[in-house]
């Protein structure tokens, strides 16, 4: 389950690791089995890696998820010469590294993982509300906002069933 399970190390060739996007080799293998357009998503950040995935035939379409939650014109910037999208996910943590030992507790580790994911949800909420992202939002504030929204939605759903 997202946020609860440890991130499984991908068994990828070093060439894939160098290309950064961990599903490229998987997509190449899929090509041999299916005759469908393939979209590949997962950690594409550099234009070079995206070009490689398309030019090698691994993918027909590139998916970009987290960066587009806060750099909404990312694809346009890449087409205009930007070489790399930012990697905000590497800076997002609820539990500071000095207290990293707390993540030995499965529950706290899960909360930490969810909070980092919720930061991206909160960017989408902000876009919906104001038309702008909120990159200065703290991970803690994002956790509170998304948890609060989930609670309100669940309560509204329960009321509508009464």
Ligand X SMILES: Cc1cc2nc3c(=O)[nH]c(=O)nc-3n(C[C@H](O)[C@H](O)[C@H](O)COP(=O)(O)O)c2cc1C
| 121 forms part of the interface with ligand X (CB under 6 A) | yes
C-alpha distances in angstroms, 7 versus 1, 18, 84? 10, 19, 24
| 139 forms part of the interface with ligand X (CB under 6 A) | no
In this chain, which of 39, 65, 155, 156 binds ligand X, going by CB under 6 A? 65
- Angstrom distance (rounded) from CA 127 to CA 122: 9
Q: How far is the CB of 104 from ligand X (least distance, A)?
A: 25
Distance of CA 76 to the CA centre of its chain: 19
| 22 forms part of the interface with ligand X (CB under 6 A) | no
| 103 forms part of the interface with ligand X (CB under 6 A) | no
Taking alpha carbons only, the member of 76, 73, 80, 25 closest to residue 49 is 25
| 125 forms part of the interface with ligand X (CB under 6 A) | no
In this chain, which of 16, 19, 40, 43 binds ligand X, going by CB under 6 A? 43
| 42 forms part of the interface with ligand X (CB under 6 A) | yes
In this chain, which of 40, 49, 50, 64 binds ligand X, going by CB under 6 A? 64
Question: Is 65 within 8 Å of 114 (Cβ atoms)?
Answer: no
| 41 forms part of the interface with ligand X (CB under 6 A) | yes
Where b means 16+ CB within 10 Å and e means fewer, 91-106 reads ebbbbeeeeeeebeee
- Which residues lie near ligand X (CB under 6 A)? 41-44, 64-66, 69, 120-121, 124
């Amino acid at each position: 389950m997202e946020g609860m399970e440890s991130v499984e190390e991908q068994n990828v060739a070093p060439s894939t690791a160098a290309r950064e996007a961990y599903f490229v080799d998987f997509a190449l293998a899929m090509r041999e089995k299916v005759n469908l357009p393939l979209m590949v998503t997962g950690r594409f950040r550099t234009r070079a890696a995206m070009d490689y995935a398309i030019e090698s035939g691994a993918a027909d379409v590139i998916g970009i998820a987290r960066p587009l939650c806060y750099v909404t014109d990312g694809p346009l910037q890449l087409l205009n010469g930007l070489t790399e999208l930012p990697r905000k996910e590497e800076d997002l943590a609820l539990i500071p590294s000095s207290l990293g030992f707390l993540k030995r507790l499965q529950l706290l580790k899960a909360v930490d993982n969810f909070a980092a994911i919720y930061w991206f949800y909160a960017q989408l909420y902000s876009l919906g509300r104001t038309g702008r992202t909120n990159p200065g939002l703290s991970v803690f504030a994002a956790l509170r906002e998304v948890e609060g929204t989930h609670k309100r939605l669940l309560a509204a759903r329960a009321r509508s069933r009464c």
